Chains A and B, each alone.
Chain A
Amino acid sequence: MKKVPVQFTLNGEEKAEFVESGVTLLKALREKIGDTSVKAGCQQGTCGSCAVIVDGELRLSCLTLAERCGGAAIETTGGLAHGEVLHPLQRAFNEGFATQCGFCTPGMIMAAKALLDHNPQPSREDVVEAISGNICRCTGYEPIIQAILAAARANSLSAA
């Protein structure tokens, strides 16, 4: 199968790779670029473990073809921290016990970031809706909801 060049930014860094033209963004990120923070949970679009942000919008990397992301700005949880300084969402998930097995966490944090980027002060209902496509089978939804609300509060404090 023919390989095609694809170029995008990943967490602000320029990336260029040759990929099979029908390959998913999930596989391109994990197997070509080496960002394994993006997880393959179902590859059906039902679990949200592979969620990434493409040009500001939450997307499922398992159902997105890499070639169609040419020129895009892609964000993943793997690039969210600045060195040892955690993003407020990461800090809130860490301190609030909002992660158990950890497999859903990167996708969950991306869904939460997509929410806060558009809606910095969400209601609880907004949060529930925002993570409604992400499954946590350790069933830790309540700490996750609380962590996202805590991160939103921390953001508003630092902005004030």
Chain B
Amino acid sequence: MELRKEYFADERKDDLKEIGQPRLRADALGHVTGTTTFFADRNLPGLLHLKMVRSPHHHARIRSIDLSEAGRHPGVVRILTADDVPHNVYTILTLIQVGPEDETVLATDKVRWKGEAIVAILADSERAAHEAAQKVKVDYEVLPAVLSIDEALAPGAPVVNEYHGQNFYRYDSGECRKVRFGDVEAGFAGADHILEQTYGSGPIEHAPTETTGCIVMPEGSGRFTCYTNTQAMFFTLDNTSIILQMDGAKLHMVGGTVGGGFGGKVDVTVEPIAILGAKLTGRPVSFIYSREEEMQISSPRAAEKLVIKDGVMKDGRIVARYVKAYIDAGAYSRHSPYGAQKSAAHFPGPYTVENVWVDSYCVYTNRTPSSAMRGFGVTIGDFALEVQMDKLARLVGMDPLEFRFVNAYRDGDMKAHRQPTEGAALIECMQEASRAAQWPVAEKYLQMSSARREG
């Protein structure tokens, strides 16, 4: 590892002791000896296996559910339905007062995505649970589904989620999150060139090697010990407490060891129902996603559609940036209204543009609900922005790295969100990247500084 201490040398004391030093990971010894205890590395006597019966349809009304045959299947101990869930509403961000209450834990009258949970089978063995799941009879009235952002926003499209009434989330600011800065139309009118491009991405699954799951032990004290691989311990505690209407003190959540998460283990999808199962049967319960469930059921990164229109001058200055962003939440909100808000907050990227207009929509479709994943709401936008930057550079005949120097934000610049820029380091990063990648730029760019503008 190499530290370049000459940058910002006057802004800090040079007394780093740990940074730059090789250190063994605290948990690596357990990993290499196979002794790290993951949540599933427990054998509890009398363990029940929970298997979820899920919707095979993208969108359907549930006319009836017949559990009589499944309930009689050998090895089945209990079947949980929506009626068993004390507060059958799932709102991941309720802890920070962000709703909306648009999703159930177990489906009642409708399913809105292929894979939505309907009833949970608790059986002595995985095999018995699988067999009984085949015997659950759900009578569906299949409804038309919308499977893309464009379909969802088309006039007359079927409504995905009645809670919202239309296929997008309504913010306090209206149908989308908005950023308005300067006069974008005047900017386009004065630009030498205008470039409008549309970018798109599909959902992306985190695919951790360890699938989502938990094992719950009912304790003699009336508490429940829940061994979980959640990445969001306090969302889990809070959501479980609300869904089960159970005092948080009764919930002993044990976690911290996660076999890969990347945001995919932030949603609270296994713990409440597994703890409910343990409560109603008095036995330990294991609820572990199969690989197929991990790929299809656990929430992915949202699909996005981004329309970016830029006005640029011959000398490379971007004078206007207009963005319409659409974030595919899937059938339910989860983190996506927040993700779409992050998306709005991220544009126009780390560049100083005097005229900016951003509309960012959170759109509902009959797809697997999307949620957190490493920089969600931001990374796809960055992909689109940086491809756009390369295209703009080509349009004005500039080197793409020099083009970014021209537009890079500096300390003191007013951002589109009316926060003055501070602590910028883009110029210095690009200077170092130019050297490291042997991608030469003109000397004047090597003389630039994030701390002040030239002249």
* B209–A137 CB distance below 8 A: yes
Contacts of A40 in B (CB 8 A): 40
Most buried by B among A36, A89, A109, A136: A36
Contacts of B207 on A, CB cut-off 8 Å?
137
Q: What interface size band does chain B fall in?
A: 20 to 34
Partner of B210, one of A31, A43, A103: A103
Within 8 A of A (CB), among B249-294: 257-262, 290-291
Quick check: B28 and A39 within 8 Å, CB to CB?
no
Q: Cα distance A144–B418 when bound, in Å?
A: 46
Cα-based distance from A95 to B22 in the complex (angstroms): 9
Contact present for A103 and B33 (CB under 8 Å): no
**Distance A155 CA – B374 CA, assembled complex (angstroms):** 39
Query: Is A70 part of the contact surface with B, judged by Cβ < 8 Å?
Result: no
Question: What's the Cα separation between A36 and B30 when bound, in Å?
Answer: 12
Q: A81 in the interface, Cβ–Cβ < 8 Å?
A: yes
Chain-B contact segment, one of A2-10, A53-61, A72-80, A117-125: A72-80
Contact A102 B259 (CB under 8 A): yes
- Of the residues B33, B211, B259, contact of A77 by C-beta under 8 Å: B33
Nearest Cβ in chain A — how far from B155, in angstroms?
41
Number of interface residues of A (CB under 8 A): 41
A37 at the interface (CB under 8 A from B): yes
* Least CB separation from B36: chain A residue: A102
Distance of A97 Cα from B22 Cα, bound (Å): 10
Query: Which residues in B have their C-beta under 8 angstroms from that of A41?
Result: 209-211, 259, 291
Does chain B have a CB within 8 A of A131?
no
Partner of B41, one of A36, A47, A97: A36
Report yes or no: B208 in contact with A137, Cβ–Cβ below 8 A.
yes
Cβ of B25 under 8 Å from chain A: yes
CB distance from A102 to the nearest CB of B (A): 3
Return B314 CB to nearest CB of chain A, in Å: 42
CA distance A70 to B43 in the complex (A): 23
Which A residues are in CB contact (< 8 Å) with B262?
137
* From A39, A90, A103, A135, contact of B32 by CB (8 A): A90
Q: Which of A31, A37, A97, A105 counts the most chain B CB atoms within 10 A?
A: A105
When chains A and B are docked, how far (Å) is the Cα of A34 from the Cα of B117?
32
Pair A101/B210 contact, Cβ less than 8 Å: yes
Give A136's nearest chain B residue, CB to CB.
B209
Tell me which residues from 67 to 113 in chain A have a Cβ below 8 Å from any Cβ of chain B.
76-78, 80-81, 86, 89-91, 93-95, 97, 99, 101-106, 109
Q: Evaluate contact between B32 and A137: CB separation under 8 angstroms.
A: no
Cα distance, A64 to B47, chains bound together (Å): 23
- Name the residue of chain B whose CB is nearest to the CB of A90: B32
| Known contacts A37-B34, A77-B34; A43 and B209 CB within 8 A of each other | no
CA distance A49 to B34 in the complex (A): 11
Give chain A's interface secondary structure class: loop
With both beta carbons as reference points, the residue of chain A lying nearest to B261 in the complex is identified as A101
In contact, A97 and B209 (Cβ under 8 angstroms):
no
Q: Are A37 and B35 in contact (CB under 8 A)?
A: yes
Q: Is the CB of A94 within 8 A of B259?
A: no
Question: Would you call B25 and A97 a contact (CB within 8 A)?
Answer: yes
Closest residue of chain A to B47, judged by CB?
A: A31
A158 contacts chain B at the CB level, 8 A cutoff: no
Cα A94 to Cα B29 with chains together (Å): 6
Shortest Cβ distance from A102 into B: residue: B31
- Is B24 engaged at the interface, CB distance under 8 Å to the other chain? yes
**Bound Cα distance A86, B29 (Å):** 9
Asked if B443 is at the interface (CB within 8 A of a chain A CB), the reply is no
Q: Are A102 and B30 in contact (CB under 8 A)?
A: yes
Bits for B140-165, please: 1 = Cβ < 8 Å to A, else 0: 00000000000000000000000000
Determine if B27 is an interface residue (Cβ-Cβ < 8 Å). Answer: yes
Q: Which residues of B contact A76 (CB under 8 A)?
A: 34
Could you mark each residue 209-247 of chain B with 1 if its beta carbon is under 8 Å from any beta carbon of chain A, else 0? Answer: 111000000000000000000000000000000000000
* Chain B residues near A16 (CB-CB < 8 A): none
Known: A103-B38, A135-B209. A42 touches B31 (CB 8 A): no
CB <8 Å contact, A99 and B41 = no
A contact residues around B258 at 8 Å (CB): 101
Specify the chain A residue showing the minimal Cβ separation from B43: A31
B291 touches A42 (CB 8 A): yes
When chains A and B are docked, how far (Å) is the Cα of A109 from the Cα of B35?
14
Which residue of B has the minimal Cβ distance to A106? B34
Whole-angstrom CA separation of A43 from B28 in the bound complex: 25
Q: Which residues of B contact A103 (CB under 8 A)?
A: 38, 208-210, 259-260
Residues of A within 8 A of B209 (CB): 39, 41-42, 47, 49, 101, 103-104, 135-137
Cα A135 to Cα B291 with chains together (Å): 13
- Offer 25 A-B interface pairs, CB within 8 angstroms, sorted by A: A30-B41, A30-B43, A36-B37, A36-B40, A39-B209, A39-B259, A41-B209, A41-B291, A43-B291, A46-B291, A47-B291, A77-B34, A80-B33, A90-B32, A93-B28, A94-B24, A97-B28, A99-B28, A101-B258, A102-B27, A103-B38, A103-B208, A103-B209, A104-B209, A105-B34
14 more contacts with CB within 8 A, not counting A86-B32, A99-B25, A103-B38, are: A34-B43, A35-B34, A36-B37, A37-B33, A39-B209, A40-B40, A41-B259, A42-B211, A43-B290, A47-B291, A101-B260, A103-B260, A109-B32, A135-B209
Closest 10 CB pairs of A and B: A37-B34, A102-B31, A103-B259, A36-B41, A42-B291, A90-B32, A99-B31, A77-B34, A78-B34, A106-B34
The chain B residues found within 8 Å of chain A, CB to CB, are 24-25, 27-38, 40-41, 43, 206-211, 257-262, 290-291
